[in-house]
Structure 1
Amino acid sequence: MKNHFLFCCLLLSFIGYSQKKTLQTKFISEKIEVDGNLDETIWQSAAVASDFIMFEPDNGKTIPENKKTEIRILYDNDAIYIGALMLDDNPEKILREITQRDNFGTSDVFGVFINGFNDGQQDFQFFVNAADGQADCITTDTNGEDYSWDAVWKSKAIITDKGWVVEMRIPYAALRFSGENKQTWGLNFFREIRRDRHKYTWNFIDSKLGTFTQQTGVLEGIENIKPPTRLFLLPYSSFYVNADARQKTYGTLKGGLDLKYGINDAFTLDMILIPDFGQTKYDDQILNLGPFEQQFNENRPFFTEGTDLFSKGNLVYSRRIGGVPTYKLNENESFTETPNVSLINAFKISGRTKDGLGVGILNAVTKKTPTSIYNGESGEIRNEIEPLANYNVLVLDQRFRKNSSVAFVNTNVTRNGSFRDGNVTALVWDLNTKKNTYNLAGDFKYSYINRAEDKKGINSQLNFSETSGKFRYGVGADITTKDFDNNDLGINFETNYYSLYGNTSYRILNPTKYFNSFNARINTYSQFQKETGKLQSGNIKFQINSNTKKNHYLGIGFDANPVETYDYYEPRTTDRYVIKPTKIGGFIYISTNYNNSFAIDFNPSYAVFDEAGRNSYGFSVGPRYRFNDRLSLNYNFNFFRQNNNKGYIDSINDDLNSATPNTIIFANRNVITYSNTLSGKYSLNSQMTFNIALRQYWSYAENKNALSLLQNGRLADFAGYTDNKNSSFYSWNADLSYSWWFAPGSQVSVLYRNNAGGFDRNINKEFTENITNLLNNDALSHVFSISVRYFIDYNQVKNKF
């Protein structure tokens, strides 16, 4: 009898976990004040969502009674309302660090996940932490969480003697759903008890499956809603004061307008009129000794918000739009004045129909920009023009069966006049089995460059993987032809190759005696030059990541290049290569529990090459201290040294009538890099925060002797080369800022910034003197700016008048 009873309990538990939970909501006409009290009587008549189940670490375990969680949802013609009551037997232990928006900090968190189409593809997620801070993001299984997306909504969190309470108002303008009279939405709730690192969801999310968004519950009961006109204006005004040693102090006043308009319930138009990106985060520039350009993060809000559709196929590198000119500087050249290609305007249209068709259109126009370039060797000045340019992206993404999609993508850049134009077209697919156990993904891309001589190329990849269970694996291949070029609006480093790769992994799904989580993974990668079949890259990596029972993160990894490979990129000359030696290396990663006031990250690494005296080693150490819930500081120091590194420095034309260099010069060099960063914040409350961000960087390459590249890819001593090709790059950036969200969607930002940088062939190894010279040189510039942005909802203005 006892066995039968146990079997029934297990069966009912399995059925409860595997089925989607349903919550009914109800229409209200009375006003709800978002104050965290839930004292309106209508709340008591709403259906309750409860019985939360652990997502991490002990997947499937029910929430204890003393942490019971109850959620209610109501709606009217303008918004939905969420009331969350979260019990805690130790309310005084609830972690509640005050942070700025989209940063959870060390705090308990409550979240609601909404999918207006109930298609298992994309969640709009809204979070409130116990310190009353907000965070929001768009989440897909393919791209994860995108916190650059920001919506305007209201919330309030308060701590009580029984736990904590959250009240939220999410307007329909912050969501996407079909225009049907009777709505059925995907829905889930999330709660993290931070001191235990326990995460729970209302509808069970089985960690054995490789999907998150498809394991939601269902919200029913929303009928005949009349969503308001989605028209939002964001006017702004900015004042800048600039000063440096080369020019007098001067002030600049700027103004502009951003616009968001809901074309219908599913599609939105975002437009920039007179853009201003003067307060975006600085770029972390490095000493780049390699053959490829440095890739920078996109920090401009317009190009980071809601870009899920535009990331299909990885074809868009939005830093191409505006900023630095596209033409390259030759040896010994520099800009006489730092150029800036201005953005005239930009817009994007994005959304998805009820049948799952996503449409994305992005368009931007940049200004014609003349530039003067100085040659330090000859003393000559040449003039260049960055022409007026139009950048366009079109995406059509069809979802089906709630877990798969096929997309068509086109990027196009048209430049005024006889300048180069670029066009890339791609077909992208992401196919999953019905039970989300296997995945087939890939793409086919075709590029066409229109210039004096047309250039056409293709790039394609195909990956197959098992995405569920403790043991998982994947295999794949890709190919890129010599003439594939998507660099007008994308970024691509390597061409003319094909590759094969695979991986296998093991993970625990529930905690063990020593670990909350444990993952071991092996990756292999082989790349071959397409025409000769020579091995360009051959690598195998083994890595373990784990989280201990005390929530310390530990990792260890090994990687090896077991055979010599042929590098066709470092020589910077067509059809030439340098042979790279075998290598073996490893690293350790330790990150102590961030719940503690003091925590530290430590990451040493070492690698040795099959070449006399050639090795590399380094470490990063990052202590952090949380003084209280308002004040915290994080410091990080990085050091990395490469001994007897071999790299390109020059090429010589022995035959003046030849366009191809006869002698390619490498250097045997030591490369040393230091960087120091400090970041911190002091939060007055969840709307007001002071921030500091400092970065000092110094890297130099000291050449020991010159080498010539032989036709067989080997290097030989080259005694006749005497030019100084040492490299030393140093930079300094400091940001002190104050941010105040004085109303929903409205912000005042005050920023003081100073920065400096420089490149030199002569290396000064005195660390302190180097920093002093950097901060005292003529290149140090200062900027003080104030920016005010005000969010205007057309409906609120209309109602007032």
Structure 2
Amino acid sequence: MILPWKSAKKLCILSLYFGLAFPSLANQPLAIPNIKAAITFDGELNEPVWQQAKHVELNIVNYPYENTPSPIKTDAYIFEDGEHIYFAFNAQDPNPEKIQGFIRDRDDAFSDDIVGIKLDTFNDHRLAYQFFVNPYGVQNDAIENEMTGNTNTNWDGIWQSFGKITNTGYQVEFAIPYSELNFAEGSDLKTWGIELIRQYPRDNILRISNIPINRDDPCWICQMAEMQGFEQAKMGNNVLITPSIVASSNEVRDVYTDEEWQSDEEIELGLSLRWGITPDVLLNATVNPDFSTVESDAGKLKVNKTYALFYEEKRPFFLDNAEYFSTPFNLVYTRNIADPDYGSKVTGRVDNHSFGLFITQDSRTNLILPGNLSSSIAEIDDDSFSGALRYRYDAGEDLSFGFISTLRSADDYENLVTGVDAKYKLSLSNSVIAQVLTSVSEYPNYLRNESDESNTLNDLSDQAYQLTFEHSSEYWFFNLMYQGIGQDFRADLGFLPKVDSNELSSELVRKFYNEESWWTEANIGVEFETTHNDDNELINETTELNFRVYGPWQSTFSLTFIDQQQVGLRFDEHNDAIDGNTNRYDLSQIQLYTDFQPVASVYMNFYALFGDAIDYSNGHRNDDIENSNDRKADIVEISPRLIWNITRHLEFNFNYSFAELEAEGDYVFRENISDLRLTYAFDVNSFLRLTMVYTQTDFNLSNNPDVIIDSDEFNNLATQLIYSYKLNPQTVFFIGYSDNSIEDNAIGKLKKEQSIAFLKLSYAFN
């Protein structure tokens, strides 16, 4: 489903597709004709083949209303030719001037008027491809994983589309090559799952579909309609070879000594291979790849945070079939792999068996060193090998078993994780998920003492496990989870910043619906969580009460009250004990979030946090101070955002984040982040973007008596100007410039410490 709330102007298409309320309609498979005909992608729909294609009406609103007649007419047309499957949509609109659509980069149009499909090519209710197009032809694609409940919008397929606004609405044509899809090979009649969807954002966001839904079934993939045909479906040209060249000129200097600029020019050649060995088995290989992320990561508040921050993966090699490696624990966090020399991956599904294997050789080894109160980042200055193996067996529609193993190794270093998991659907609304893991690790001496708080020199080995029960129906949601992660458990290829942690959590939500008033849905929920270490010492106990309502202007309003007991950092960092070695604090907080879109071109959101917090910075910047400690404080965090589409081509995106911590009557620190991104899209393939991220951090040294730092002010300005042309996700041209400037009391003003000019060119041959 495309939910009626947004983050960063982007509606994520999530896996909330409900069951079929009218089986007599859904059980009639759509017969897809095989037609050999050429079409021109111009949005006209005037070729004779569209009259021969399978015609489907989208006439049911299944969100936010429950299976009501659609107020607007939408017609879809489908045919295939053995190498592609073709779709056309005629989305009529009585007020075409109100169509919400802009010319953007791909995957940025989830909040627009869009039409598209979901495809379950194995019809086994596990994964679904999503392909959506806005009125200008901007592509949005994703892969939905029913096993984990996640939707990966970072995945990019190579397909063709065109959109056109008309006097009566808009029309879209697109074609998906079978080489982009995994499906069972053979010349027999095939049955795929499908849902055709139109998103109609006006005062509310209507989700219009060809099928009704049943809110008592949380598995929306399970309830898509069926279509049949595809006897002649084949991969076509199933080899994609993408050479690339990356050139850069990098300059750095020490701004404190005013030394001369040190320059470094570099040209890197790379080659990637994507080979569909069969329609259901895919091989990826890459040599000397460009794994750089051209776009800047969004700025995040970092001061007074005790755990490592999570960043999304954006690199194509890792995104292709990434969902095959998903498990309840995040064991494959590929941003840990920094600069590989080569990589290879094979993924596939045969009958009820799915599998994935990848290996990389990395020139750097980044690690998260976890703990039960904090985590840190470390680097081994040596080449390392990373690999992951994943297998899943689907015993039926309701039961799946899985196995996973990950490995990272270098000189004097190794981390091996193995485990099994299962998911069982007890009934329409109830499911159970379980996973058990074990790890064996060996670290270099200089890291072992940091990662093992007991400071033993023995190899580390331990277990982790998770058991979850979930109920999701029309009016109720309930989740109960128990998760244990042993003190010596490590998953260095994953993202597990917390160990020595035994967590019991539960969530209960009551949902209300309204089709006759200003609001369409409201939720009241309560959450409880308690965490102990392996010695049964309390680390955290939290209770949350949440109220959320969806209303006009595509709006969301959420208010959360939080009450918790939380321990601070250890007095003696070399003593594992919690009791007697930490302070315990009673904390209360209020969180507020709202977003709305008063007109099609303007989106705004606002987040705020008020209440109690722990000042972790007090004394913990100086490792030489014994028995340094934290203290109770007051926290204020505010983050407004404005996205303004000034024209169809020009977008202004500004996000501001502010945090202030106050203790003992005075502020401890203030942190401000201003993130501005100005984008001009020339067409659906190219844009020019200016990014400026300015971070200001002000420390009150008089209220940090144990902190030894040279400056009370740290400022940073990162800028980037980039031109991007994408014929498709693999055929790209980037040219740009970025720099970084810093300021503190010693420097006196912003001084540029690094600049880089870069160019990337890659072309996909198939």
Normalised by the size of structure 2, how large is the TM-score?
0.84
Kept in 2, the 8 Å contact 1:97–1:106? The answer is: no
Shift of 1:172: 0.6
Please state whether the residue corresponding to 1:44 is helix, strand or coil. Answer: helix
Kept in 2, the 8 Å contact 1:177–1:354? The answer is: no
From the superposition, tell whether residues 556 and 111 of structure 1 become closer, same or farther in structure 2 (CA, over 3 Å): same
The match for 2:486 is: 481
Q: Tell me the alpha carbon deviations over residues 447-475 of structure 1, each in whole angstroms, 9 at most, x when there is no partner.
A: 11135622210111111121112122121
Kept in 1, the 8 Å contact 2:303–2:671? The answer is: no
User: More displaced, 101-110 or 462-471?
Assistant: 101-110
The match for 1:387 is: 382
The match for 1:45 is: 52
Q: Tell me the alpha carbon deviations over residues 664-703 of structure 1, each in whole angstroms, 9 at most, x when there is no partner.
A: xxxx981321111111211111112112222111234435
Q: Tell me the alpha carbon deviations over residues 332-351 of structure 1, each in whole angstroms, 9 at most, x when there is no partner.
A: xxxxxxxxxx4110111112
Tell me how many residue pairs correspond in the alignment. 693
The partner residue of 1:359 within 355, 359, 365 is 355
From the superposition, tell whether residues 507 and 569 of structure 1 become closer, same or farther in structure 2 (CA, over 3 Å): farther
User: More displaced, 85-94 or 238-247?
Assistant: 238-247
Shift of 1:385: 6.8
Q: Tell me the alpha carbon deviations over residues 256-296 of structure 1, each in whole angstroms, 9 at most, x when there is no partner.
A: 11110012110111112111234533454764555544444
The match for 2:543 is: 540
Matches within 5 A, 1:739-758: 739-742=724-727, 745-757=730-742
Please state whether the residue corresponding to 2:249 is helix, strand or coil. Answer: strand
User: More displaced, 406-415 or 606-615?
Assistant: 606-615
The match for 2:243 is: 235
From the superposition, tell whether residues 306 and 411 of structure 1 become closer, same or farther in structure 2 (CA, over 3 Å): same
Paired residue type of 1:680: L
The partner residue of 1:149 within 132, 149, 155 is 155
Paired residue type of 1:735: Q
User: Is residue 2:697 matched to residue 1:699?
Assistant: yes
From the superposition, tell whether residues 198 and 366 of structure 1 become closer, same or farther in structure 2 (CA, over 3 Å): same
Using the alignment, how far apart are the partners of 1:34 and 1:788 within structure 2?
26
Kept in 1, the 8 Å contact 2:110–2:140? The answer is: no
Paired residue type of 1:30: A
Shift of 1:722: 8.7
Shift of 1:589: 1.9
The match for 1:204 is: 212
Paired residue type of 1:560: D
Shift of 1:757: 4.5
Using the alignment, how far apart are the partners of 2:70 and 2:667 within structure 1?
59
Please state whether the residue corresponding to 1:486 is helix, strand or coil. Answer: coil
Using the alignment, how far apart are the partners of 1:308 and 1:170 within structure 2?
20
Shift of 1:352: 1.2
Matches within 5 A, 1:523-534: 523-531=527-535, 533-534=536-537
Q: Tell me the alpha carbon deviations over residues 559-593 of structure 1, each in whole angstroms, 9 at most, x when there is no partner.
A: 011x5x44466853332431221011102222221
Q: Tell me the alpha carbon deviations over residues 181-205 of structure 1, each in whole angstroms, 9 at most, x when there is no partner.
A: 2111111111011234211111223
The match for 1:448 is: 440
Using the alignment, how far apart are the partners of 1:497 and 1:147 within structure 2?
31
The match for 1:258 is: 272
Kept in 2, the 8 Å contact 1:309–1:358? The answer is: yes
Using the alignment, how far apart are the partners of 1:295 and 1:623 within structure 2?
23
Using the alignment, how far apart are the partners of 1:683 and 1:351 within structure 2?
37
Paired residue type of 1:580: R
Please state whether the residue corresponding to 1:614 is helix, strand or coil. Answer: strand
Shift of 1:705: 6.4
Shift of 1:443: 1.0
Kept in 1, the 8 Å contact 2:292–2:315? The answer is: no
Paired residue type of 1:170: I
Q: Which has the higher contact order (CA 8 A, sep 6+)?
A: 2
The partner residue of 1:623 within 637, 642, 650 is 642
The match for 1:573 is: 574
Using the alignment, how far apart are the partners of 1:570 and 1:293 within structure 2?
21
Kept in 1, the 8 Å contact 2:508–2:525? The answer is: yes
Paired residue type of 1:363: I
Please state whether the residue corresponding to 1:578 is helix, strand or coil. Answer: coil
Paired residue type of 1:23: L
Using the alignment, how far apart are the partners of 1:359 and 1:610 within structure 2?
44
From the superposition, tell whether residues 645 and 694 of structure 1 become closer, same or farther in structure 2 (CA, over 3 Å): farther
Paired residue type of 2:749: N
Kept in 1, the 8 Å contact 2:300–2:673? The answer is: no
Matches within 5 A, 1:548-627: 548-561=551-564, 563=565, 565-567=566-568, 572-576=573-577, 577-593=581-597, 595-608=599-612, 614-627=633-646
Matches within 5 A, 1:172-251: 172-181=178-187, 182-196=189-203, 197-245=205-253, 246-251=260-265
Paired residue type of 1:732: L
User: More displaced, 625-634 or 595-604?
Assistant: 595-604
Unpaired stretches in structure 2, ≥5 consecutive residues:
1-19, 254-259, 367-378, 444-456, 616-630
Using the alignment, how far apart are the partners of 1:206 and 1:19 within structure 2?
12
From the superposition, tell whether residues 14 and 440 of structure 1 become closer, same or farther in structure 2 (CA, over 3 Å): closer
Matches within 5 A, 1:718-757: 729-742=714-727, 745-757=730-742
Matches within 5 A, 1:432-443: 432-435=425-428, 437-443=429-435
Using the alignment, how far apart are the partners of 2:112 and 2:38 within structure 1?
30
Please state whether the residue corresponding to 1:148 is helix, strand or coil. Answer: coil
Paired residue type of 1:754: D
From the superposition, tell whether residues 581 and 184 of structure 1 become closer, same or farther in structure 2 (CA, over 3 Å): same
Q: How many percent of aligned residue pairs carry the same amino acid?
A: 20
Shift of 1:622: 2.0
Please state whether the residue corresponding to 2:343 is helix, strand or coil. Answer: strand
User: Is residue 2:177 matched to residue 1:161?
Assistant: no
Paired residue type of 2:757: F
Paired residue type of 1:83: A
Shift of 1:360: 0.6
Using the alignment, how far apart are the partners of 1:619 and 1:59 within structure 2?
36
Paired residue type of 2:185: G
Using the alignment, how far apart are the partners of 1:609 and 1:82 within structure 2?
53
Using the alignment, how far apart are the partners of 1:26 and 1:174 within structure 2?
20
Paired residue type of 2:539: Q
The match for 2:90 is: 85
User: Is residue 2:517 matched to residue 1:513?
Assistant: yes
Shift of 1:727: 6.8
Using the alignment, how far apart are the partners of 1:15 and 1:444 within structure 2?
39
The match for 1:472 is: 477
Using the alignment, how far apart are the partners of 2:268 and 2:436 within structure 1?
44
From the superposition, tell whether residues 226 and 51 of structure 1 become closer, same or farther in structure 2 (CA, over 3 Å): closer
Please state whether the residue corresponding to 1:309 is helix, strand or coil. Answer: helix
User: More displaced, 257-266 or 20-29?
Assistant: 20-29
User: Is residue 2:265 matched to residue 1:269?
Assistant: no
User: More displaced, 493-502 or 678-687?
Assistant: 493-502
Using the alignment, how far apart are the partners of 1:368 and 1:45 within structure 2?
56
Kept in 2, the 8 Å contact 1:238–1:785? The answer is: yes
Using the alignment, how far apart are the partners of 1:305 and 1:756 within structure 2?
35
From the superposition, tell whether residues 28 and 613 of structure 1 become closer, same or farther in structure 2 (CA, over 3 Å): closer
Normalised by the size of structure 1, how large is the TM-score?
0.81
Kept in 2, the 8 Å contact 1:97–1:105? The answer is: no
From the superposition, tell whether residues 287 and 572 of structure 1 become closer, same or farther in structure 2 (CA, over 3 Å): farther
Paired residue type of 1:606: F
From the superposition, tell whether residues 287 and 55 of structure 1 become closer, same or farther in structure 2 (CA, over 3 Å): same
Kept in 2, the 8 Å contact 1:558–1:587? The answer is: yes
From the superposition, tell whether residues 403 and 189 of structure 1 become closer, same or farther in structure 2 (CA, over 3 Å): farther
Kept in 1, the 8 Å contact 2:361–2:384? The answer is: yes
Using the alignment, how far apart are the partners of 1:545 and 1:110 within structure 2?
28
Using the alignment, how far apart are the partners of 2:614 and 2:290 within structure 1?
51
User: More displaced, 345-354 or 601-610?
Assistant: 601-610
Using the alignment, how far apart are the partners of 1:594 and 1:579 within structure 2?
47
Shift of 1:510: 4.6
The match for 1:115 is: 120
Using the alignment, how far apart are the partners of 2:181 and 2:220 within structure 1?
19
From the superposition, tell whether residues 724 and 262 of structure 1 become closer, same or farther in structure 2 (CA, over 3 Å): closer
